[in-house]
């Protein structure tokens, strides 16, 4: 197994829970903070290839609510892609890339299944 990478923002409560769970289980992982390391078009393209952008888009976020109606009423893949590049907090968090599978969000049961020994 390659080392999984957890993507998110370090001050996000759900990301904190995922990191604590991984740390408590002594699971080695890389952490990519969108605030400090950014989100490249290549990385977002890889996410879209591994998952559906509609699953990854956080429509409950303040960032989404603050988008213009023009964007919210025209959620094509291209519009969403450009909006997420500008504002990575539009992505649900955390995103966990494990063996080229992208897990969106954090649920203890799901992580336990993913990291069975």
CA 40 vs. chain centroid, Å, equals: 13
pLDDT tens, residue order, the chain (117 aa): 689 999 999 999 999 999 999 999 999 999 999 999 999 999 999 999 999 999 999 999 999 999 999 999 999 999 999 999 999 999 999 999 998 899 999 999 999 999 986
Long-range Cβ pairs for the range 58-63 (8 Å, 24+): 58/89, 58/90, 58/91, 58/92, 58/93, 61/89, 61/90, 63/87, 63/89, 63/90
Q: Write down the pLDDT at residue 117.
A: 61
Sign (positive or negative) of CA dihedral 32, 67, 51, 42: negative
Residue spans per domain, the chain: 5-114
| Distance between CA atoms of residues 68 and 64, nearest Å | 9
12 is catalytic: yes
CB 55 within 8 A of CB 62: no
Position 2 scores a pLDDT of 86
Candidate list 12, 43, 83, 91, residue with the active-site label: 12
0.95 cut: is pTM over it? Answer: no
The class level of CATH for 5-114 reads: alpha beta
């Amino acid at each position: 197994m390659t080392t999984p990478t957890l993507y998110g923002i370090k001050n996000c409560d759900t990301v904190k829970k995922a990191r604590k769970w991984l740390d408590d289980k002594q699971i080695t992982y890389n952490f990519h903070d969108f605030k400090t390391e950014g989100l490249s078009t290549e990385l977002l393209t890889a996410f879209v290839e591994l998952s559906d952008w509609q699953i990854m888009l956080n429509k409950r976020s303040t960032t989404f609510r603050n988008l213009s109606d023009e964007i919210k009423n025209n959620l094509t893949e291209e519009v969403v892609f450009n909006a997420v590049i500008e504002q990575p907090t539009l992505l649900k968090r955390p995103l966990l890339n494990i063996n080229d599978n992208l897990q969106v969000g954090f649920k203890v049961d799901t992580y336990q299944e993913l990291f069975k020994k």
